[in-house]
Amino acid sequence: MALQAWFSNDEVAIEPGSSIVLKLSVHNLGESTESYTIVPSGLTANWVTVERGNLTLFAGSQDVIDIEIGPPMLPSTTAGPTVVGVRVIPTNEPDDTVVAETTLDVQPFDDRRIVALQPVLRARHRANYEFMVENHGNGLASCRLRLIDATDRVDGTFDPPAVGVAPGGASLVRLKSKAKRGVFRRSTRTLDFEVEAEQPGHTPASTALSLVQPPTIPGALLGRVAAVALLVGAAALAWFGVVRPEIRDAADQRVDEQLARFEGLVEEAQDAGSTAVVVPSTVPTQNPFDTDEGEPDLFRLTVEPGQDVTADDSFTVPDGQLFDITDIRIENANNDGGSATLSVNGEELFVWNLGNIRGSFFEPTITPKRLEPGDNVTFSVRCGTIGDPAVGSCANAVNLGGRLIEIDEV
């Protein structure tokens, strides 16, 4: 063999997402001048950048070339010893190709996320949440879940209570939450809390959730009851103080007139009888009732447009149903750039600049919007900048929460 090639370093530690430069020595052992082509090789070829891809050496001479190595910060970048190599190919004798290899110690990294599918729910006392525990690091995530509420107003149980997530994977977890106190409420109350996935020796991942409790006795109802009570009291006072005495005096006068008339008739018709007819009266009664309209529900629209491409996803309200939109949450997990639009029947309701949204954004004070049967909701995204080049496209979603109401079809 008329060629030798070797790296000057071995067992070098490197963090995913960073890069290092190693020295590659190439020695021409032949008796003539030879040109060489240097290319990456092996499963990690896409990590390697050769500064000079072509090299010419005189007989017996050698040269040193810089080789830049940069493992990407992706779940597929396995932690631990990893072989990196380059192939040195002689131009005149390609069969004498030499492969130079070195071993890198790729370090582990953590990137764990919790993505709530229903960040906000409306319920009186109990609510069921669903969220994803995602592992974007390159090591196994064995996490235990716990609920964090500094005010101690919310408690709950997780199903499952702990998860093991492989690199690049995700696991669905359900939370059954329960409000501890506040049975009687005159106004809407919002309970904010967090769920956390923790593992000893690793940075925990967390996300915020909210439980919105409607009033047990609405303030408007109390005002109406007070007004009715005031009217009833005024009517009772007028009845006993004015109307009833007047009626009694009029009745006494009428009775006296009738008695005087009957005394004259008795003398003329003693055999005549009298019959009194009692006419019953009925007063209809009503039993007012108050029920919650519809059931809590949520649907999700997702799009993945490419660079400078517009994509949309839509949802149509089925026949026989109404949907009241009360909560909107838009997701931008990869920090993409561009714009997003939410429309109903072609009319724009919300327009967001994705550059201002990092992770997710919740519209907490929207005016409820009722969707009729056949109404179409469209979520459209114009992808301006891809936040994660490894994904190859923008990845955005919107969660629409509210109440689904069954109606009779006409």
The answer to whether residue 174 is domain-embedded is yes
For residues 50 and 90, membership in a common domain is answered with yes
Convert the pLDDT of each residue in 351-380 to its tens digit.
Answer: 999 988 888 776 655 778 899 999 999 999
Domain end among 59, 77, 106: 106
Query: Could you tell me if residue 397 is inside a domain?
Result: yes
Task: Supply the pLDDT for residue 169.
Answer: 94
Q: Is residue 238 part of a domain?
A: no
Query: How many CA atoms does the CB half-sphere of 195 hold within 13 Å?
Result: 30
Q: Which of these three, 106, 125, 152, is where a domain ends?
A: 106
Q: Is residue 319 domain-shared with residue 402, that is, in the same domain?
A: yes
Count of domains forming the chain: 3
Query: What single letter denotes the amino acid at residue 186?
Result: R
Range of the domain at 119: 110-228
Asked, for residue 197, whether it belongs to a domain, the answer is yes
Comparing C-alpha atoms, which of 100, 110, 49 is closest to residue 79? 110
Cis ω before 280 (30° cut-off from 0)? no
d(CA 161, CA 144): 6
Show the low-confidence residues of the chain (pLDDT under 70). 1, 182-185, 217-223, 263-292, 362-365, 409-410
One domain, residues 304 and 394:
yes
Residue keyed to tokens 């809407």: 188
Residues 61 and 129 in one domain: no
Per-residue pLDDT tens digits for 179-237: 887 666 677 888 899 999 999 999 999 999 999 988 876 656 666 777 888 889 888 88
End-of-domain residue from the set 209, 228, 247: 228
pLDDT at 243: 78
Alpha helices by DSSP H, 239-274: 244-268
Residue 248 inside a domain? The answer is no
234 located within any domain = no
Would 387 be classed as within a structural domain?
yes
What CATH number does residue 82 fall under?
Answer: 2.60.40.10
Give the CATH number for residue 342: 2.60.120.230
Q: What is the pTM of this model?
A: 0.49
Instruction: Check whether residue 97 and residue 163 sit in a common domain.
Output: no
Q: From the CA atom positions of the chain, what is the Rg in Å? A: 40
- pLDDT for 216: 73
Residues forming beta bridges with residue 299, ordered by sequence position? 400
Residue 354 lies in a domain: yes
